[in-house]
Structure 1
Amino acid sequence: MPEITAAFQITRWDQTPADNPADGPVAGPALARAQVDKTYTGDLAGTSVAHLVMAGEIAYSAVERVTGRLGGRTGTFVLAHGAVTGSGPADFSPGVVVPGTGTGELAGLTGTVEFRHDDAGARVVLRYELAPSE
């Protein structure tokens, strides 16, 4: 299964509260929604729009549509991923390429995805399979 690593940059972060203040005081972390736009460079080149649901800075769950070039092919696909921080560094759970979401030359794409944020910067590791091109 091929594996690529690509850098990414967040180009937009629009966040809104998800808790309803009319419901009274909120206990625990505030819930929020965010739309996050990214630009990927390297072995995955393109852009994406992710929709996140967050519990403060403790956890998030995301669905992200990527448009670009992977393995010399162009198209779109959807990632599902998330993380939980607990009391230490974020534990980014491996995410997946959502089956059946590949379009164009990326139709049939499957795989797993991991996001990493450390001294080397923000990057994504994608392990994937593509149907042979016709």
Structure 2
Amino acid sequence: MSHTATGTFSVRMQPLVDAQASEGVSLGRLKLSKQFEGDLVATGEGEMLTATTPVPGSAGYVAIERVTGVLHGRSGSFVLQHSGSMGGGSQHLRIDVVPGSGTGELLGLAGEFALRIEAGQHHYTLNYRLPAP
């Protein structure tokens, strides 16, 4: 059965190493720390790799984060895999639950995570599936 969780989250990013630049392209590595509220009450911890280019608005990133908490009353953790790029006025972002990463009452979790930013606030929608308890 499919479910939808919505809410907000805050995110803090800290550089783990100094960005390395060559020919105008900069590669970076950051620590992610998130706090989720709403249907998902959880923390997220992970790492992000970034590439920024000398072309304004052109960049890419990948990230892995473990989310630990309560989703619609079910406790456990799962891992999100991010892949994003932007350029030429278009953006592509895909965030999926890593298959087999669910633990505790979230064992068997599968789904897709979407985010949007409005007035500086991060909002999420998690469309997910879980086996019957």
Q: TM-score range by the shorter chain?
A: 0.7 to 0.9
Which residues of 2 match residues 1-134 of structure 1 at below 5 A?
A: 1-10=2-11, 12-15=12-15, 16-19=17-20, 26-56=22-52, 58-88=59-89, 91-119=91-119, 121-133=121-133
The aligned residue for residue 55 of structure 2 is none
Give the TM-score, by structure 1 length: 0.85
- Please identify, of 103-112 and 56-65, the stretch whose mean Cα deviation from structure 2 is larger: 56-65
CA, structure 1 residues 32+120, in 2 after alignment: closer, same or farther (shift >3 Å)?
closer
**What are the ranges of 5 or more consecutive residues in structure 2 without an aligned counterpart?**
53-57
Give deviations 1:46-105, integer Å, cap 9, x for gaps.
10112100012711111110001102100000000122121436x242221001100011
**What are the ranges of 5 or more consecutive residues in structure 1 without an aligned counterpart?**
20-24
CA distance in 2, matches of 1:34, 1:87: 25
The aligned residue for residue 22 of structure 1 is none
Which protein is richer in strand relative to its size?
2
CA distance in 2, matches of 1:92, 1:77: 23
Coordinate RMSD, CA, aligned: 1.8
- For residue 117 of structure 1, report the CA deviation from its aligned partner: 1.7
